[in-house]
A and B are shown apart, each in its own frame.
Chain A
Amino acid sequence: MNLSIQHVGKTYRRGVRGLDDFSLELGPGVLGLLGPNGAGKSTLMRILATITKPTDGRVTWNGTDIVKSPDHLRAELGYLPQDFGIYPNLSAQEFLEYIGAAKGIERAACRRRIEELLVLVNLADARKRALGGFSGGMRQRVGIAQALLNDPKLLIVDEPTAGLDPEERVRFRNLLSDLSGERIVILSTHIVSDVEATATHIALISRGKLIVSAAPEILMKKVEGRVWEWVVSSEELIAVKQRHRVSATIRRSDGVRVRAVSDTQPAAAAQPVAPNLEDAYLMFVAPAAEEASTKAA
């Protein structure tokens, strides 16, 4: 099982680059795709989901070009888009049956699968209610169920935990981990903790370009010794934020505990601490974004 993204680019009207020379090889596991707003995550997801065609490069699924033969991938694809729409007058059961037919799943098998999925996403009791009355979280769970309907080999989920409450988020993260054994899961999100909890591989993307791609532990290793914590006064905080890449601040009785990413010790009192994914994100993505802004200026 292999998804190969080779020098893929997407140029929109008026020359706006959505994606630029993006290359990545993927095998089974969860790829966490992280990047700021407008980084090109959704463009990449839509290209991989065969909805948008790239203007450059090539994407192959088990050796088959997905632009030339999209249906080859579609038969094994599950996709949960960022803005997931539903038909308000259908019940969850009817909606899933409808999507099952669109995906070409034989009726009896589809019904069995829906039964299990509704239990999985905890909507078995609400299966006959109109989707129009569902809350945002419930709709999102229907979206998750439809994405898993054809037991996809490639599962693409774009901001899947948006609208879910904390408990549902944890459940969904666990589900993604459970599912990743025999398939490729691509998870795009702003929420670093979601990626931290599930991803076996992380790709950081900014301004349409792949900044870095590595296993989480390798990514963390690259930041080791560059994350610092120290306490400053409230008056000093603004100056510290201007000078350093601050990833967190916590107010305490003796001042503000600052956590920052820096190649050198930022202050005499600063102590090195164990890095986390947010630190790595800040270290790789912020300079790329700054560089692009400078070029644009």
Chain B
Amino acid sequence: MKLTHRLYHLARADFYERVRRHGFFVALVFCVYGGYAFLPPNGSKYMTMSMDSHRGIYNSAWIGSAVAMLAGAFVSLIGFYIVKNTLERDRRTGVGQILATTPISKLQYTLGKTFSNFAVLAAMTGVVALACVVMQFVRGEDHAFNAWRMFAPFVLLTLPVLFITSAVAVFFETMPVLRGGMGNVAFVFIWGALLGANFGHKQTELYNDPLGTGIVLPDMLRACAAQIPGFDPVKAGVSMGVNIQTEAVRLTTFTWNGIHWNMHHVMWRLQWVLLGLGIAAVAAIPFDRFDTAGSALKLPRHKRRRKPAEEIAPSSGLSVSDAHLTPLDRDAVSARPGAMVFAMIFAEWKLMVRGLRWWYAGPLGLSIAALTAPLDAVRAIVLPLAWFWPVLLWSKLGTREATYNTEPVFFSAPHPLSRQLAATWLAGVMLSVMTGFAVALRLSIAGDAHGLAAWSVGAMFIPALALALGVWTRSGKAFEAIYTGVCYAVIQQAAPLDFMGAVATAPRHNPLIFAVLALVLIALALFGRRQRLQN
């Protein structure tokens, strides 16, 4: 069988399996919304692509290029978490073991999976692009539709960066250390470094520009300078992403007719596709071909140390009648929801911190820093770090039952909401308290009541967020990605996102907002779990 034929079928089967899921449809709905939200009318309270207080009129060229860049950035971030499960699914369903017995090579497999990932992300991009066509007429600033100017940026700007994302997702899945939560967290930083750093930069070297902003932005700025008197492209601030404003935004418009794509541009964009192919090929090296037998790479060190259980053969003298099973005293089983809740919290806690050894070095070091560093640094740096450290433990809240298929057992035990879910959240709060205790002590000594209030809210908000996302998505990925982003933003002094009291300029009412949000998240978690129980 030809290589292309094999790759095609591998990618096709995987693609169909994914796009026929309910979650993919939800992702497409978000894509349509993205196409709509990326093009706000004048008077909206946010802006997307703009230069100072100017933007291009919503013609095919501007819409295509602006949304293609935004889609490249957002779909590459969110899409990574959507597609980073293809090997895991083959592993879980056992299909991987069947594939492993076929002549397909490791390289063919990783390439096939990369193409499948890419097909999923490309389909999402296609929906965004189609939404843009509709949006051009909805906004009605220019009724002349030009397919090349609209779609070429999606092909040349968005798809290459999505191809790399697809390959990176496969690479992460083949690397045992990056397969789980560690990889989910790491990708946020990688994305931030590669794409976020270039976001809105006016001059970017093409070799360091996966998003292609360096091709488009200078041309847009030139057009703006030519049409808007007094506009200085060197001093102008470029806005990309979704920038929320307190007041209605009114932007003046200019006409930009798009990039004249040439072979030079195409070659620069192709380099990213080649890089993606290279990453997919490299992914074949650590790929274990679903060999579950004691690979040294497979398990984290602390898990490897545990001795595997030996099969204990039934001893010849033992029969069921030899074993004595005393009837359980019914008084020892409590039907009250509140009964045994401490035992349940303790059990949840043990489950959460099981197998951790060197992990404690982090909270210990950060606690020492919290007690010795200047108070401002403790608030701004030590606390966010102390509460970022346990991200991979919190991300298991609410997902463990689905991950390990223990739902039937736990959902048939008494009070799955009031006893079990409450205990899960409280165990998460205990983790916040443990890792942030030294900071709280420091704030108490300093008499910082507002700081302590913010700290208390933060301690409850984090596990509430983890639990709600875990219950609804049945995976830790959403929490790992969102929480990492939020912590990153807090360290960068993003005041509106400061849920813990780390940003000096944060509004005084932040603790109140996040306390309400924590309650809403807990309610959402309860509602989600209740829905699951009532299926």
Contact = CB atoms under 8 A, between A and B. Distances in A.
Interface of A: 46, 49-53, 71-72, 74-75, 77, 79, 81, 83-90, 94, 97-110, 112-113, 116-117, 119-120, 122-123, 125-126, 129-135, 137-138, 146, 148, 150-151, 167-168, 171, 174-175, 178
Contacts of B350: 94, 98
Contacts of B332: 105-106, 108-110
16 contacts: A71-B335, A71-B337, A79-B408, A85-B406, A86-B404, A87-B351, A94-B354, A104-B335, A104-B340, A108-B332, A109-B333, A116-B323, A116-B324, A122-B312, A132-B306, A133-B308
Nearest to B340: A104
Interface in B365-421: 400, 404-415, 419-420
Nearest to A134: B309
A99 to B, nearest CB: 7
Interface in B328-366: 328-329, 331-337, 339-340, 343-344, 346-347, 350-351, 354-355
B419 A102 contact: yes
Closest 5 interchain pairs by CB? A85-B405, A133-B308, A151-B328, A109-B332, A81-B408
B93 to A, nearest CB: 12
B229 interface: no
B325 to A, nearest CB: 5
A167 B323 CA distance: 16
B365 to A, nearest CB: 25
B417 to A, nearest CB: 10
Interface of B: 303, 306-312, 314-315, 318-321, 323-329, 331-337, 339-340, 343-344, 346-347, 350-351, 354-355, 400, 404-415, 419-420, 423, 533-535
Contacts of A50: 411-412
A103 B413 contact: yes
Nearest to A168: B314
A49 B414 CA distance: 11
Given A81-B409, A89-B354, A113-B328, A104 B306 contact: no
Given A98-B347, A104-B419, A151-B327, A133 B306 contact: yes
B343 A107 contact: yes
A126 B311 CA distance: 9
A105 to B, nearest CB: 5
B328 A71 contact: no
A111 B423 CA distance: 20
B321 A178 contact: yes
A123 B327 contact: no
B41 to A, nearest CB: 39
B73 to A, nearest CB: 36
A87 B407 CA distance: 12
Contact of A87 (B337, B406, B411): B406
Nearest to A113: B328
Nearest to B339: A104
